[in-house]
Structure 1
């Protein structure tokens, strides 16, 4: 008696099921790969924004330090030239009042810059999350 089926041949249903499984695995891998690449891009964008922000903040602090140091030297130079105690008191109080205003302005500028840095750094995260969690069509 001759065997009409090849012992190594899979039935059509099993083959179709296996092909469907392979196709789904490929699709899932492609989605995973895209998500991973997007995640890497997001991380790079976050670090780039944070780095730029840190540089801007450091530059601003250094500028403030230089301006405040120069104001201190100007104050000392003016103080050395006074002729009386009342003039010295006036120079001192004027300088102090001016520096308090400058410090308040500098603190406000640093707070605004910090807010901008936080917003710029979070933007890639929001963008990446919106892509990752977008509703299914």
Structure 2
């Protein structure tokens, strides 16, 4: 007795369930991609912020260098006009005191700017990481709820 191929039909309910499962998986994957894209975008924004702050620090440093060189030229003019060694020593002493004070102030300002930048970047990074984690968890939760409903 030759038997023909057995014809198994897949019930409509099973096909519907499989189709919905694929749709839910695609939605979950799209959600993960969205969260990943947000995280990359956020990281790019942080890099831009840090780069901008780096420019500000460099601009300050150049400004300080200009001030210091200007003070040195001013000293040179005073030394050229000095009438005796005592006046030369007085100008040199005043210059050194002024430059030490200026350098301390400049270093404090740069240090404060750098500290502020690092704190701001760390705070932003932590907030962005927490948001990305929350977004990923929400996506997983939605996918899990979608699977439970079936």
Give the shorter-chain TM-score range. Answer: 0.7 to 0.9
Q: 1:123 deviation in Å?
A: 4.4
Structure 1 SS opposite 2:82: coil
Matched with 2:83 is 83
Structure 1 runs of 4+ with >4 Å offset: none
Structural RMSD (CA):
2.3
Flag structure 1 segments of 5+ consecutive residues without an equivalent.
1-5
Moved more, 98-107 or 44-53: 44-53
Contact preservation (8 Å) 1:46, 1:124: yes
Q: 1:60 matched to which residue of 2?
A: 60
Please give the alpha-carbon distance, in whole angstroms, between the structure 1 residues aligned to 2:66 and 2:97.
19
Shift of 1:16: 4.4
How big is each residue's C-alpha offset from its partner over 1:102-133, in whole Å with a ceiling of 9 and x where there is no partner?
A: 00000001111112222343344223212122
Report the Cα distance in structure 2 between the residues aligned to 1:32 and 1:8, rounded to whole angstroms. 37
Task: Note the C-alpha offset of 1:27.
Answer: 2.5
Alignment deviations for residues 51-91 of structure 1 (CA, whole Å, 9 cap, x no partner): 20111011011101101000000011111111121111111
Unpaired segments ≥5 residues, structure 2:
1-5, 142-150
Equivalent positions of 1:1-137 (< 5 A) are: 7=7, 9-12=9-12, 14-134=14-134
TM-score between the two structures when normalised by the length of structure 2: 0.76
- Scaled by the length of structure 1, the TM-score of the pair is 0.83
For residues 19-77 of structure 1, the C-alpha deviation after alignment (integer angstroms, 9 at most, x for no partner) is 34213312321221111211121122112102201110110111011010000000111
Higher relative contact order (CA 8 A, sep 6+): 2
**How far off its partner does 1:12 sit?**
4.5
| Higher helix residue share | 2
